[in-house]
C-alpha cells in the first residue's frame, strides 16, 4: 500500500531498538502496523465496492508464493488493453497449499476493478472472505496493542 520506503526503515529501526530497550513496544509497533494495513485495505475494498465496475475475466494460472500459498493470475480486457495480474487484495488460506486448482484454470470469473486504475481489482466471489480476513487481522492487531498497553501501564 502507501507505506513509503523511508518509513519502513524507520519502523524497522524502531522495532530493533525496542527489541533491546523495552520489548513490549514491539507488540505495540506490530499492532499499529497491522491496524494501519487493515485500514488501508478496508478503504480500498469500500472504494472498489462502491465505485468499481464488474467485468468477466479468466484465471490463467496460479502463482505459488514463498510460503506455498496459491494466488490466481487473472486475465481480462478493458478498452482493448489486456491486463494479466494478481488481484490487488486476495487472501489465501492454508488449504490453498494443498488444494489443486486445475479445474479453475481457464474458467471465467467476475472481477471488480477501479475504472481509474484497472490494474487494481478483486475477485467478486471473494468479497465476504476479504472482509472476514480483515476482521481477523484487525482483531489480532488490537490484541497486540492492548497487550502492550496493559503491560506498559501495569509496570
Q: For the residues 90-97, what does the mean pLDDT come to?
A: 67
Under DSSP, the state recorded for 79 is T
The predicted pLDDT at position 98 comes to 53
| C-alpha triplet 109, 90, 74: angle, nearest 5° | 40
Domain boundaries defined on the chain: 5-154
Rounded Cα distance between 120 and 43, Å, is 13
- Residue entry with cell 465496475: 53
pLDDT greater at residue 4 or residue 138: 138
Q: For the residues 102-110, what does the mean pLDDT come to?
A: 82
- Could you report the per-residue pLDDT of 17-51, keeping only the tens digit for each? 888 888 888 899 999 999 999 999 999 999 999 99
The predicted pLDDT at position 96 comes to 56
Rounded Cα distance between 89 and 45, Å, is 8
The predicted pLDDT at position 1 comes to 47
The predicted pLDDT at position 97 comes to 54
The predicted pLDDT at position 155 comes to 65
Amino acid at each position: 500500500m502507501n507505506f513509503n520506503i523511508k518509513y519502513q526503515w524507520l519502523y524497522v529501526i524502531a522495532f530493533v531498538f525496542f527489541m533491546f530497550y523495552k520489548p513490549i513496544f514491539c507488540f505495540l509497533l506490530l499492532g499499529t502496523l497491522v491496524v494501519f494495513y487493515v485500514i488501508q485495505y478496508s478503504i480500498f475494498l469500500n472504494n472498489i465496492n462502491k465505485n468499481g465496475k464488474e467485468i468477466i475475466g479468466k484465471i490463467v494460472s496460479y502463482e505459488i508464493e514463498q510460503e506455498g500459498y496459491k494466488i490466481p493470475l487473472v486475465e481480462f480486457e478493458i478498452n482493448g488493453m489486456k491486463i494479466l495480474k494478481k488481484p490487488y487484495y486476495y487472501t489465501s488460506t492454508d488449504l490453498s497449499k494443498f488444494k489443486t486448482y486445475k479445474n479453475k484454470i481457464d474458467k471465467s470469473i467476475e472481477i471488480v476493478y477501479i475504472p481509474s486504475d484497472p490494474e487494481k481489482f478483486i475477485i467478486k466471489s471473494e468479497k465476504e472472505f476479504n472482509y472476514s480476513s480483515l476482521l481477523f487481522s484487525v482483531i489480532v492487531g488490537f490484541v497486540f496493542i492492548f497487550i502492550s498497553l496493559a503491560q506498559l501501564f501495569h509496570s
